Amino acid sequence: GWVYQLDVVTGQSHLVGCPRGFLVVNDSVATQTCFECPPTSYSVSPFDNCGVKSCVSRECNKCPQGLTCFGGSNFESSEAGDGSVWENVLEQGSLGKTMRVRLTSCAAGYVLVRGASPDQDACVACPSGTYSVTRATYRPPVMASESSSALVRDFDLCLACPPGALCSSGGDVKPYNNFWRGSNMLCGPDSCNSLSGQCDSTKCFEEEKFGQDLATNGRRQQQQCAGGKCRMVAMVYRCPPGVCFESNASSFVNNTCREGHMGPTCALCKGGWAMEARFCRECESDAKDAYALLVFCLLIVVLLLAWYSWAPLVAEVGWLSGVQSIVGSVNDMMDKVSAAMYVKEVVMKIMSKGNLLGYVKVLIGFWQVAGSFNLVFAVEWPKQLRDMW
């Protein structure tokens, strides 16, 4: 309430105190009062901007840009979610000392604007096409600016959105289709392109591992991050084709993976799934039967190809007639030549009369083309064919 002090000499009561949110006005006994601060202004001390001997009628502190003031000492952040933190600071007013609220911290995605005038203090979100994943602080100065017109400044304030992502405002970095939002990393200014927003992950550090492995990375960390030059940046990676799908959620969530895929960039398969032709395929219970059928079909194909591939060769070298003559004279030849010499003679005969190497090349080429068809042309085999194959 209102606090008075009795002057024993004059017998008058002088106003010496008011509730929070009011200003003491006591330059005259007749007009002394507690003046309540109206909306768009505030007071945290009843003696704000008082003179040395008394407090004259005066205005309350003007509401900062980053606050909404309801009058008295009641105020709140102008933007929900900006994470603003304020402190009381004793400053010089027009008549005397006054206690003002000044901004000290903002949430990630905001620039802390704090200049000479306390009226301009505010957490200002990074504009569209830029982002920040670092909390802004006044001490030490991180993501801090003296003017709301300077929100992008090289590697100090809001960063350019990385390729493959959409940055609407603040700290939202939403990957496009076929891209993946990775973990944030600590990067130095030399690791990133300030125009494109692209950062080299090989020159950055994972936050949880920063400062650990000093034996191998200690010197590089000290050089890149000396004086607090490093800051957290968003990492966006390209996924294998067709496995990362853009989310339709209004709030940020990372891309979803194709069924059976998991992990960073959806490049891994879940348990019970296996990679097949660029995609994860569920392992069925009758997999053994399918593989047995595959082996049987391959054997049949090999036999057919061998027969049709060698049939012209057999006809060309006259193998059937050669066999008949060989069988008829085998007894005579046993006494004349050894078995090794006979085999050599047959091989030389085939090589001299038939283009064996040409047939082998054709056979190998066929299997190479057939085996790489689905990879070269990115054609996914039908399920029925995959089960048979």
Pair of tokens at residue 24: 């003491």
Task: Give 153-192 pLDDT, tens digit per residue.
Answer: 888 899 999 999 999 888 889 898 889 988 899 998 888 9
Number of residues that this document lists for the chain = 389
Token pair in block for residue 248: 């339709």
Closest CA to 236 of 140, 189, 323, 172: 172
Instruction: Give the pLDDT of residue 213.
Output: 46
Q: Rounded to an integer, what distance in angstroms lies between the CA atom of residue 136 and that of residue 105?
A: 6
What local confidence, expressed as pLDDT, does residue 214 receive? 40
The identity of residue 367, as a single letter, is W
Residue 366's identity, in one-letter code, is F
Give the per-residue pLDDT at 150: 85
d(CA 285, CA 135): 51
Residue 20's pLDDT band, with cuts at 50, 70 and 90, is very high
Class of residue 106 by CB neighbours under 10 A (exposed 0-12, middle 13-18, buried 19+)? buried
The DSSP code sequence of 82-113 is ---EEEEEEEE-SSSEEEEEEEEEE-TTEEEE
| pLDDT per position as a tens digit, 269-321 | 999 899 887 889 888 755 556 667 777 788 887 787 776 665 555 555 555 55
Tell me the pLDDT tens digit for each residue of 78-115: 998 899 999 999 998 888 899 999 999 999 999 999 98
pLDDT of residue 376: 60
> Exposed (0-12), middle (13-18) or buried (19+): which is 26, by Cβ within 10 Å?
buried
Which band of pLDDT confidence, cut at 50, 70 and 90, is reported for residue 382?
low
CA distance 147 to 103: 13
Quickly state the pLDDT bin for 208 (edges 50, 70, 90): low
The per-residue pLDDT for range 236-255, each reduced to its tens digit, is 999 988 888 876 655 556 77
Is the pLDDT confidence value at 337 over 60?
no
pLDDT value for 57: 93
